[in-house]
Amino acid sequence: MKLIVGLGNPGRKYVGTRHNVGWEVLAGLARQCGGGIPRERFQGEVVEVDIGGQRVLLLCPLTYMNCSGASVQPARDFHKIENGELIVVCDDFNLSLAKLRFRPRGSAGGQKGLQNIIQRLGTEEFPRLRIGIGSPPPNWEAANFVLSKFTEDERKSMDVTVATAVQALRDWVSHGIEFCMNQYNCI
């Protein structure tokens, strides 16, 4: 089994915000793969899907972004998933809008949800897919920016990026991280 985690914040007011792009990608993946109604487990919403004959657990933590590890670690441990079979999908304001970046491991790079997962798992050795949400405008605090909604033009770009990320995750399940880095990091 593989585990794909999409980071975001629960609640109506966060729907469509930059910080919830991880959830958007998992929702698209669940729809495309015929996932059923999400169940609440591991302090998150969980859907099990089949991708190319591989069982995949999709997890959206309901713990709020900064405590995502409290959901990810129990799910990983319960299903005995190796760190290389887990990928975290999150926003990144250090990447240009709509840019995808796969990494096999690494630091949190300022992403608080990712930082909490690293702390809870005790390692940086797991793949991640970062999705560029653009940089905060001058005089904006990063926290306010990530909780803001995309402009109409940005939303059009992000809709394409979310669809691309869904396909990219299917490729990760079937072909692995190196394939995805070569295919998607240059787009």
What token pair was written down for 181? 């880095």
Per the annotation, the verdict on 79 as an active-site residue is no
How far apart CA 38 and CA 129 sit, in angstroms, is 22
Specify the number of domains making up the chain.
Answer: 1
> Domain of 57: which CATH number?
3.40.50.1470
What token pair was written down for 21? 């792009």
Which structural domain, as residue segments, surrounds residue 72?
Answer: 2-184
pTM: 0.96
Instruction: Give the count of beta carbons closer than 10 Å to the beta carbon of residue 74.
Output: 15
> Per-residue pLDDT for the chain (187 aa), expressed as one digit of tens each?
999 999 999 999 999 999 999 999 999 999 999 888 899 999 999 999 999 999 999 999 999 999 999 999 999 999 999 999 999 999 999 999 999 999 999 999 989 999 999 999 999 999 999 999 999 999 999 999 999 999 999 999 999 999 999 999 999 999 999 999 999 997 6
The catalytic position among 19, 112, 128, 130 is 19
